[in-house]
Amino acid sequence: MTDAVPKLYPGEQLDDAAGFPVLFNYLPADPQKPLFIFIPGGGHNARISYGGHQGSDEKDFLAYWVNHHGYGFLAISYPLESTPPIMPTTAPQFRIRDWGNQAAEVTHRVVKEHGLSGRVVLISWSMGGRIVVPYTVAAQSLGLYVDLYVAFAATPGLHGMRPPPLGIRSSKSGYAAFANMSDLFLAQIHEQQAKLNGGRAIIPDDVYVREYFGYTPVSLAGWNLRYEPASHGQAFVEDYWMSTKDAATDQAEHLPMIVTLTGSSILDARHVMMDQATWTFMLTQRITRIIETTKAKTGLSQARFETLADMVHSLPRQISKTIPGNHYFFLGERGARETADAIFGLLAMAVEFESRLQEVLSG
């Protein structure tokens, strides 16, 4: 790091976890309720969920509204290269499996330190969709339980889900950047501010670039590339399977219940069009795995199987909600409030669905 003391927001902690730098912020509420975990997407730290820059309004950010419902909120930033530095730029080799382990370790620390229940609701945004299985497995190994996974315009770790952007390059520290990266993100923030926040700025452009944005370890992005120390700061190496293996989406038995939220803007067309189907597919894999591994014990009748099939076929509309906005639909007072309200509605639905599933399986 070039700055001896990085600029941290109130409540933030800069530490190491799972052998890598991490920035996290815990906003407490009722300790008996599940703890909400937020994992950011590519090019961002987790401040995008709680804010804190000079002049910011806490109501413009999701954490405020989750707290408003009485739930604690823990935002965890993976190693990110920022200018000026916030975290040490020592983790270009950081992988998806490291990400899951790190986030689970931080969760466990906070749960133990504050005497929380050990039940969590995992939210991940965009690229963060790749963490769901590694996080859930690591969390379970630490005695935590994931009640629900909430995909925020998120991409699962399935191979080849999206093509790499143009102009990918390595920073001097070995992190991944691509052409016009911050400009593409800012275009969506500008739309969110103009159309859904009354023209009022949520994050000024210069503040966003300095304090929210950064370069990502390349293996997290699912671009079929990995960091190689021998070519540090020069180029990445093609690797078609490492990130897919790390994301472990074939291990459907480790998936929690899933719901998904997206925006509505053409600026985020891929997620608006795909996420309902993509995450329904992932959840159907989980439910099918449960049925296949329990039917011998329960002796499923044809009638109960038909009930299960009907439940699965009803999933797409049940598990998905659209919030007005784009990739940043949860940003700004209206978006943050409506997103929180939608999550709690989906959480109630998920609890009911899981209860009904167990009831049908057990006869």
Span 154-170, pLDDT tens digits: 999 999 888 888 889 99
Cα(203)–Cα(209) distance, rounded to whole angstroms?
Answer: 10
Residues of the chain with pLDDT under 50: 1-3
What ranges do the domains of the chain cover? 12-362
What was the pLDDT predicted at 42?
96
DSSP three-state, residue 307: helix
The confidence score (pLDDT) of residue 184 equals 93
pLDDT digits (tens, 9 = 90+) for 102-140: 999 999 999 999 999 999 999 999 999 999 999 999 999
| pLDDT the model gives residue 4 | 60
Which whole-number Å values give the CA distances from 358 to 26, 284, 294, 304, 352, in the listed order?
33, 15, 10, 11, 10
**199 vs 31: CA distance, rounded Å:** 37
Q: What pLDDT score does 297 carry?
A: 58
Going by C-alpha positions, the residue among 120, 43, 31 that lies closest to residue 83 is 43
CATH of 12-362, one of 3.40.50.12280, 3.40.50.1820, 3.40.50.1000, 3.30.470.20: 3.40.50.1820
What is the pLDDT, as a whole number, of residue 301? Answer: 85
Q: In this predicted structure, what is the pLDDT of residue 343?
A: 98
